Amino acid sequence: MSFNLAQREDTIIALATPQGVGAIAVIRLSGKDAIRVCNEVFYGKDLEKQASHTIHFGTIRNGERVIDEVLVSLFVAPKSFTKENVVEISTHGSSYIINQVIRLFVKKGVRPAKPGEFTQRAFLNGQFDLAQAEAVADLIHADSEASHSAALNQMRGGFSSEIQELRAQLIHFASMIELELDFVEEDVEFASREDLRVLVEKLLRVVEELILSFDLGNVIKNGVPTVIAGKPNAGKSTLLNALLNEEKAIVSDIAGTTRDFIEDEINIGGVIFRFIDTAGLRETTDTIEAIGVSRTQEKMKTASLILYLFDLSDTDLVEINRDINKLENLGVPFLKVANKTDKAKDNIINELKENHPDVIFISAGQKENLEGLKVKILELVNLDKFKTGNTVVTNIRHYDSLTRTREPLLDVLGGLDQEVTNDFLAMDIRRSLHFLGEITGEITTDDLLANIFSKFCIGK
Ligand SMILES: Nc1nc2c(ncn2[C@@H]2O[C@H](COP(=O)(O)OP(=O)(O)OP(=O)(O)O)[C@@H](O)[C@H]2O)c(=O)[nH]1
Ligand SMILES: [Mg+2]
């Protein structure tokens, strides 16, 4: 794909609403000729004489034949999403009508849009920067409150404006130092080295904070990986099913029923959790079960949260203490969850309450106190600060550019320490600027753009 201006002379069309039958469908056109071509097939007012941001009732006709009664919304350049002339045609939501309308326009020389082409045009015409364009994609795919607010915040420029501002300050220093190069003989200093150090240190802090936020950003997008672990027959699969409200995992009283991972997403309080049911932890001679057990141990290490589940009718305090000890050494946050309250003997419950006041008592089989468990889960991950619109990096490309910015920034600091010559200093600053610019799109390549926009769906 190339992104020259000639290609953007043409007018594009796509269905903007999802495929399939609906009450209405919206077909979108963008380009120089969008309004003119629409006027040729629209019977109603003369669209070319109407003001921007107006809606008009009429029919779309192929020759004499009426295809549908429609509403046409006009957005005259540059007051539109793409900054080009945009027409949105609301038709009845039948796939027959949609196909007929799109075909009619294609016959008139309008080109079917590629995935993400509307957003790409918006970007190329300066509607927003690259990080914001990518946020549009995230927003379309957001399916939880937390990922929605992270994407929305980014689209509004929260993330980019911070980067852009710091980059602008750094550009100032780069030009001052490069200017000094022209005056070597005079030995002047236009850029205070102390101010430069302060700025670079601040930049490093921001970059490192953003890098750290990526882990959480990732979690917001893909769900908090939460492993349910414990002995065979503790009721792990029963708990997964109870949380999901469906019989997803096989439950039986045979120890060692689950051998592979079974996972699914659950929305708790606006945050997506990815619950992973695992093979029960025990020494086993069964080869396949043993593989399952070692995989469980691996999975526990990479989890954000572990639900340690044990059976109140079949576990004693010694064993529980031993397991908790192991979990503490693992270093992953975990909750102690006692299952089968319906079958437990009183003394174990009292013993536990004394020794571990933070144990959560549930009955997965009877679906008891699952709400209490959910509250504790939410408390433990504490995603609150990310719901209030703090800057979070959710995009692997941004993360990559940020990590690559770090190194030249450190070089600038090192250079200041060692009082290297100006040309070296300027070079390291330029390298930092390059990677920072990649994030917001001040520096792009065709490959990069093609790669980003191809991830969108058609019509976006
Ligand atoms: N009474 C009672 N039985 C339960 C409860 N939760 C689970 N069970 C029973 O305990 C047995 C084991 O449950 P599973 O969910 O298969 O246990 P698991 O931890 O997945 O076991 P493995 O897959 O073998 O590691 C089944 O017979 C369940 O019906 C509960 O809260 N109360
Ligand atoms: Mg199981």
Whole-number Å distance, alpha carbon 298 to ligand 2 midpoint, is 17
Residue 11 Cβ < 6 Å to ligand 1 = no
Residue 286 Cβ < 6 Å to ligand 1 = no
> How confident is residue 303, by pLDDT bands cut at 50, 70 and 90?
confident
Q: Output the CATH code of domain 131-213+393-441.
A: 1.20.120.430
Residue 366 Cβ < 6 Å to ligand 1 = yes
Label each residue of 36-75 as H, E or C.
HHHHHHEECCCHHHCCCCEEEEEEEEECCEEEEEEEEEEE
pLDDT at 379: 86
Average pLDDT for 236-240: 95
pLDDT over 50 at 236, yes or no: yes
- Interval 199-234: pLDDT, tens: 899 889 888 888 877 766 667 677 888 999 999 999
Residue 231 Cβ < 6 Å to ligand 1 = no
Residue whose CB lies within 8 A of the most ligand 1 atoms, among 227, 228, 237, 248, for a mutation test: 237
State the closest ligand 1 atom to the C-alpha of 253, by its place in the atom list counted from 1: 27
**5-128 belongs to CATH 3.30.1360.120:** yes
Residue 340 Cβ < 6 Å to ligand 1 = yes
Whole-number Å distance, alpha carbon 309 to ligand 2 midpoint, is 11
In the sheet that holds 42-43, the strands lie side by side as: 42-43, 54-62, 65-75, 86-93, 22-30, 12-15, 111-112
The domain made up of 220-387 has a fold known as Rossmann fold (3.40.50)
- The ranges assigned to domains in the chain are 5-128, 131-213+393-441, 220-387
- For residue 6, give every residue at least 6 positions away whose Cβ sits within 8 Å of its Cβ, in sequence order, or none: none
State the closest ligand 1 atom to the C-alpha of 241, by its place in the atom list counted from 1: 15
Max mean pLDDT range (222-236, 318-332, 355-369): 355-369
Tokens of 439: 């994030």
Q: What angle do CA 338, 343, 345 make, to 5 degrees?
A: 80
- Interval 147-203: pLDDT, tens: 666 666 666 556 677 777 888 888 888 888 887 777 777 777 777 888 889 989 988
Domain 5-128 shares a fold with domain 131-213+393-441: no
Whole-number Å distance, alpha carbon 293 to ligand 2 midpoint, is 12
pTM for the model stands at 0.55
Whole-number Å distance, alpha carbon 362 to ligand 1 midpoint, is 12
Whole-number Å distance, alpha carbon 226 to ligand 1 midpoint, is 19
| Contact of 35 with 74, CB cutoff 8 Å | yes
Q: Which amino acid is at 348?
A: I
Give me the residue label for tokens 């019977």: 43
Cα–Cα distance between 71 and 89 in angstroms, integer? 6
> How far from 208 is each of 28, 214, 401, CA to CA, in Å?
41, 10, 12
